Amino acid sequence: MNDSQFRWRTGGDENGRELAEAVSGFLGMSKEAAADLVDFGAVQVRGKMERDPSFRLCGGEEIFVAYPSCGTSRFYEIDPSRVIFRDPYLFAYDKEAGIASQQVPFDAYNNVFAALLRFLGAEDKKQCYGALHHRLDRETSGVLLFAIARKANEPLGRAFRERKVKKEYLAWVEGYPQSDFWSEDREIGKVAGKYRAVDTGKGKPARTSFTVLCRKEGRSLVSAVPETGRTHQIRIHLALAHHPVAGDRAYGAKPDRRLYLHARRLTLNHPVSGKLLCLEAPVPPDWPEAPDQKAGQNNRY
């Protein structure tokens, strides 16, 4: 049943029937297994994820089930050694590559946001609160920042909206850029279900500044500073320069062990105290090493 998808519409005779019972009957599995699928986030009702197995149907609903490729394995939890910063208001975490920032269709468990709520709830269920105002792609590693108190949530969200949070990324890219410094401001929009660079007026404004830090063995290590926060912005802008992120098959790079994009640093004023914060995630241990450079050169990291 792995990687299988099922879609059907309930009949009028199912008015009042529990969702887990309906899934169980259609897929020919036990009610317990169906309830597990629902709780895991693998079931949608009328196009929205429904995680309550006892949810009562009215009849006529479209139900969509996508059985997760790895089953309903609940394997991901917060690793305390990856916590970058924590106080009563903020929680900064060094996200691993391969883990979603928040729930994705058909898996509401194995992501950093859900794991954070479980982590905080284990400490104090009454004080369990979390909010996320920026995201990293599943294959991107690095700094992910959460508000964990309502007092911090609104000012933190405002800081991101007003672009008062400076984001700095590292990327190993294919080839050697001709210039050590450049910027890209092509708009980004969605075309045929994929994010792409589009003509002015057909997408959302996007701007990224790039600096080459070193060149080594057919690749270059680049610092990327996005001034806006569009989906796949850095990846698209680097592909436009004909230097896609190493491992980024979606934008023209050769296959590799991983996507070599890392959210290295966030700099912002604390939303409650106003104190300047510089939150850094160490370079991943599975990255190629950059050659040692002399002090004063711009190709250190």
Question: What's the rounded Cα separation, in Å, for the pair 228 and 206?
Answer: 5
pLDDT at 22 (0 to 100)? 96
CATH pick for 80-280 out of 3.40.640.10, 3.30.365.10, 3.40.120.10, 3.30.2350.10: 3.30.2350.10
pLDDT at 70 (0 to 100)? 78
pTM of the model: 0.89
Question: What's the rounded Cα separation, in Å, for the pair 149 and 300?
Answer: 36
Which residues are within 8 A (CB) of 17 and not within 5 positions of it... i.e. 6 or more apart? Answer: 10, 56, 57
Tokens of 19: 């969702």
Q: Are 284 and 221 in contact (CB under 8 A)?
A: no
- Cα 71 versus chain centre, distance: 21
DSSP 89: S
pLDDT at 292 (0 to 100)? 55
pLDDT at 296 (0 to 100)? 34
For the chain (301 residues), the mean pLDDT of every run of 10, in chain order, is 78 94 95 96 95 96 89 95 97 97 93 97 87 96 98 97 97 97 96 93 96 96 96 97 97 96 98 98 90 44 50
User: How far is CA 232 from each of CA 84, 190, 278, rounded to the nearest angstrom?
Assistant: 24, 11, 23
Q: Are 245 and 171 in contact (CB under 8 A)?
A: yes
pLDDT at 63 (0 to 100)? 96
CATH pick for 5-66 out of 1.10.760.10, 3.10.290.10, 3.40.50.10680, 2.40.100.10: 3.10.290.10
Q: What H or E segment, with its residue span, contains residue 182?
A: strand 181-184
Q: Are 128 and 121 in contact (CB under 8 A)?
A: yes
Q: What H or E segment, with its residue span, contains residue 25?
A: helix 19-27
Q: Are 241 and 184 in contact (CB under 8 A)?
A: yes
Question: What's the rounded Cα separation, in Å, for the pair 75 and 99?
Answer: 11
Which residues are within 8 A (CB) of 12 and not within 5 positions of it... i.e. 6 or more apart? Answer: 59, 60
Name the nearest CA neighbour of 146 among 97, 95, 96.
Answer: 95
Three-class DSSP category at 235: helix
Task: Give the ranges where 124-270 is alpha helix by DSSP (H).
Answer: 150-161, 233-240
| Domain residue ranges in the chain | 5-66, 80-280
Residue positions annotated with a catalytic role = 137
